[in-house]
Chains A and B, each alone.
Chain A
Amino acid sequence: MTRLFLNRALAMVAVLFGLAVAVFVLQVVIPTDPARAMVGSNAPEEVVAQARADLGYDQPIPAQFAAYLGRITRGDLQHSLHTHNPVSDDLGRFAPATIELGFYAALIAGALGLGLGLLLVGGGLVGRVARVVLVGWAAVPAFLTGMLLIVVFYSWLHVLPGSGRVDDDLLLPDGPTGLLTVDALLTGQFALLGNLISHLVLPAVTLALLPAVAIARTLHASLEQVMGEDYIRTARSKGLRERTVLLRHALRNAAGPTLTMAGLLVGLMLGGVVVVEQIFSWPGLGLYVTQSIAYSDFPAITGTTLALGAAYVVINFWVDVAQAVADPRLRSA
């Protein structure tokens, strides 16, 4: 177990290093001059040269790489060109909104995926309808889902807000977690909590749909396989109800492959969150990165890439370890 942990930890460090190299390569090959971008297009040549020296871009590539590695391990991600704050501060400010959205979306995706997967296995008319719905769903881009939800629930029915994280006129709790629903609950502001949840519903559902389809498909495939095994026949011949067989006997053994996907789903959601935050004006990392793209704010873009990439790699490491803890058969790997 310790050996597996160390192995995976080593692999994680290698991947993190690879990520750092990839981002560095991008910085070297970009067509725009970062020093020029920082001081503005009208600055005189001496100022640009000074900025270039300050940033270390006049050094040879290996020296630049060493400086860059030192910088990012200290958490220094340079200054954003459009907010003028250190990128690490910006990330800290925008991350809680994304974490909160991602958390609720993951809950919805899990529940929806589980439900749909069980419907599929049930077969019959319901199962067939669920199959068609799933195939169709997987083809709908997240931005279309989001827009349709806004049109229906905000514009037509007026039951849910279509943008932002909270109504502007509400006072927000000042910490302690930055996750507003948690803070509202801790400080006992239930009206605020209701408002926050109503803002969360549409973006969280939009973000959850594609992962839910992936979960349902994987769960269905592994349930089909498990349902053909001997111990299921034994359970049935004991006279257990089909529902008991499915939920108590089959589901537990079919859950493995679905849990394996958890890491991949995080990747899927990282891609989705950028689109969803843009549609719903959700003030998180996705919106930060889209705005940075619009401003050609390269330090902000690379900083966010490093942060999101590192988060993804670390989450996947823990998913791996959790699986090995849960399933002893994986420990020899």
Chain B
Amino acid sequence: MSAVKQPVADITTRGGAATLWRQRAASADESRTGNLVRALWPLLGVTLVVLVAPLLAPYGSTDINPAGALQAPSGAAWFGTDELSRDVFSRVLFGLRTSWLSALAVIAVGAVIGSVIGAVAGAVGGWVDAVLMRTTDLFLAMPAPVLAIAVVAALGPSLRNTLIALAVVWWPWYARIVRGEVRRMAARPHAEAARLAGVSRARLIRKHLLPGAVAPVFVTMSLDVANLVLALASLSFIGLGAPPPAAELGAMSARATTYLLDQPWVSVAPGVAVAVLALAGTVIGDRANRRIREGAAR
């Protein structure tokens, strides 16, 4: 980032200060936004694919495949059929949609809650910062999977409650990141200039501090997609997801373990689908991470 040298006299006037930060923010913003979009379009791509996939399913998620129960994979049932004669391939397509969209939803909710808390803590400082960050530390110090299991078990197993539980254990990471970035930004000359220009605190946070946290938050979000796909599948596997007959990958796999030795495809196929989805998330996340870091270094 090329530092725009301005005479000190200029930033003492409102107009000067505004021009200064606008110049810097504009150039930084353009390259950053461009990088973000380029790095994240594959996420959109996968989202479109999982949205379209169920439309291509030969059967509905609870429809009976006339081939019969527990059939081996064949032309009539690509991934075979389960114990209730449902088409495993079709159910996997529906399950992919649920898994992917749920992961995105948890990340979005976690990132928003975490960002708000982190931004307030970082910008306000003082005892507000202390209280909010000690609370965050408290959440980080507790074992997330155990806490998530307890939350879903308490609220009652359902997809919505699983998403709530995961958001509860996921936001603290974002709060930490955003707080750190906001503190860093607040020490920068452009924030100083904005403060001298007399902008309100809300505007300072929104326009001058928070934009600096956008890139790191998006990097973390993209890296988290795979983690959440796996976390959701595991919770669903131990019985903490949508109740049957919902087509959820983890639950499908768990219910078919009874037939694992004779009809392994019924439980292996949804597991492989989870792995494929998580792998897609990992690759996209790593790529976004590299891109955004390169962009930031330039």
Contacts and interface: CB of A to CB of B under 8 A. Distances in A.
A210 to B, nearest CB: 9
Interface in A296-332: 296, 298, 301-302, 305, 308-309, 312-313, 316
Contact of B264 (A30, A151, A275, A305): A151
B146 A278 contact: no
A70 interface: no
Given A14-B138, A144-B253, A316-B141, A139 B260 contact: no
B145 interface: yes
Given A274-B149, A279-B257, A301-B154, A313 B142 contact: yes
A267 interface: yes
A11 B226 CA distance: 32
B138 A278 contact: no
Interface string A52-83: 00000000000000000000000000000000
Contacts of B153: 292-293, 296, 298, 301
Interface stretch (A15-23, A177-185, A228-236): A15-23
Nearest to B256: A147
A279 to B, nearest CB: 7
Contact of A18 (B142, B233, B237, B240): B142
A26 B238 CA distance: 20
Given A19-B142, A271-B145, A147 B278 contact: no
A267 B145 CA distance: 7
A305 B144 CA distance: 11
A150 B261 CA distance: 8
A89 B283 CA distance: 46
Given A147-B268, A148-B268, A293 B146 contact: no
A181 B234 CA distance: 29
Dominant secondary structure at the A interface: helix
A278 to B, nearest CB: 6
A270 B150 CA distance: 13
Contact of B146 (A11, A296, A308): A308
Contact of A309 (B147, B233, B253, B257): B147
A50 to B, nearest CB: 24
Interface stretch (B59-67, B269-277, B289-297): B269-277
A247 interface: no
A301 B239 CA distance: 13
B264 A278 contact: no
Interface in B242-290: 250, 253-254, 257, 260-261, 264, 267-268, 271-272, 274-276, 278-279, 281-283, 286
B157 interface: yes
Interface of A: 11, 14-15, 18-19, 22-23, 26-27, 29-32, 135-136, 138-144, 147-148, 150-151, 154-155, 266-268, 270-272, 274-275, 278-279, 289-290, 292-294, 296, 298, 301-302, 305, 308-309, 312-313, 316
List the 3 closest pairs (A to B, CB-CB), nearest first. A271-B145, A144-B271, A139-B278
Given A142-B234, A294-B239, 17 more contacts: A14-B138, A15-B138, A15-B141, A27-B154, A31-B156, A32-B156, A135-B283, A138-B278, A141-B234, A143-B234, A143-B254, A147-B264, A150-B261, A274-B149, A275-B237, A279-B257, A316-B141
21 contacts: A14-B138, A15-B141, A30-B154, A135-B279, A139-B275, A140-B275, A140-B278, A141-B230, A141-B233, A141-B237, A141-B250, A143-B234, A143-B250, A144-B268, A147-B268, A267-B144, A267-B145, A270-B146, A275-B238, A293-B153, A296-B156
Interface of B: 138, 141-147, 149-151, 153-157, 226, 230-231, 233-234, 237-240, 250, 253-254, 257, 260-261, 264, 267-268, 271-272, 274-276, 278-279, 281-283, 286
